[in-house]
Amino acid sequence: SWSSPPGGVYLSLILRPKLAPPEALRLPLLAGVAVARAIQKVSGLEPRLKWPNDVLLESKKVAGILCELGAETDQVNYVILGIGVNVNNDPPEELSEVATSLKQELGREIPRTDFIQVLLPELESLYRRLVQEGFEPIRQAWRGLSSTLGSRVMVSSLGEVLQGEALDIDEDGALILRTFDGLQKVVAGDVSLRPLE
C-alpha cells in the first residue's frame, strides 16, 4: 500500500505523451532514473533501481513510483506519474529491514525543497530526451543503475510466478527473464521481485 508520512516528498505529474499503450511502461523507468539521479546529486548516496518502480539504497526502498494510464486502443491520452521519496521521514520500525530514508542514511535532514528543485529538472530533461531521441538513452541509464539485471529472481505477476535470471529490459521497458522454459517477457502490473535463495 502507498503511505505518505510527514517528511517525505510526494508528487503527481500529468503527462500527455504520444505513445502507444505498451510504451507507457517506459515512463516509470524514466522517473526511476530521475529520482536516482536527484538522490545522488543532493546526497552523494548511490541509489539503485529495482524493476519496475522502486529506488533502493543499500537494498532498502527509499522511493516508489506509481503510474496510472488513460488510453484508447492505440494511443495514450494521459499518464499520471506518482512519485514518493522518503526524504526526512523515518520508516516505521516494522519496515526497518526493507525501507529507509535519505535522513536515515545520511544522519541529517535534507531540505525537501532542495530535493524537489533537483528532481523536477531531471524529470523534465529525461522526458524531453524520450520525446526527442526515443527510449534507448533512458534504457541505457536505467541499466546502469539497475539492481535487478543479472540477478536470479522470482517474479509474481498477475497470478503467475516465474523464476529465472533477469537479463534485460526491452525497448518498451518490459523485463526479460531467462527461465527453464526459455525467454519470458514480463510487463508491469502487480509485480514483486525477490532474489532466489
90: burial class by Cβ within 10 Å (0-12, 13-18, 19+)?
middle
What integer pLDDT is reported at residue 185 of this predicted model?
Answer: 92
Q: For all residues of the chain together, what is the average pLDDT? A: 91
What integer pLDDT is reported at residue 35 of this predicted model?
Answer: 99
3-state secondary structure of 69: strand
What integer pLDDT is reported at residue 195 of this predicted model?
Answer: 57
Domains (range + CATH), the chain: 9-145 (3.30.930.10), 152-195 (2.30.30.100)
Question: pLDDT tens, position by position, for the chain (197 residues)?
Answer: 566 778 999 999 999 998 888 888 899 999 999 999 999 999 999 999 999 999 999 999 999 999 999 988 888 999 999 999 999 998 888 988 999 999 999 999 999 999 999 999 999 999 999 999 999 999 999 999 999 999 888 888 777 888 889 999 999 999 999 999 999 998 864 456 665 55
What integer pLDDT is reported at residue 146 of this predicted model?
Answer: 96
Give the whole-angstrom CA distance, residue 145 versus residue 29: 11
- The dihedral through the CA atoms of 159, 173, 144, 101 has a sign that is negative
End-to-end CA distance of the chain: 26
C-alpha cell at 124: 523534465
What integer pLDDT is reported at residue 190 of this predicted model?
Answer: 46
Do residues 19 and 72 lie in contact, with contact meaning Cβ atoms separated by under 8 Å?
A: no
CA dihedral 167, 97, 42, 134 (to 10 degrees): 20
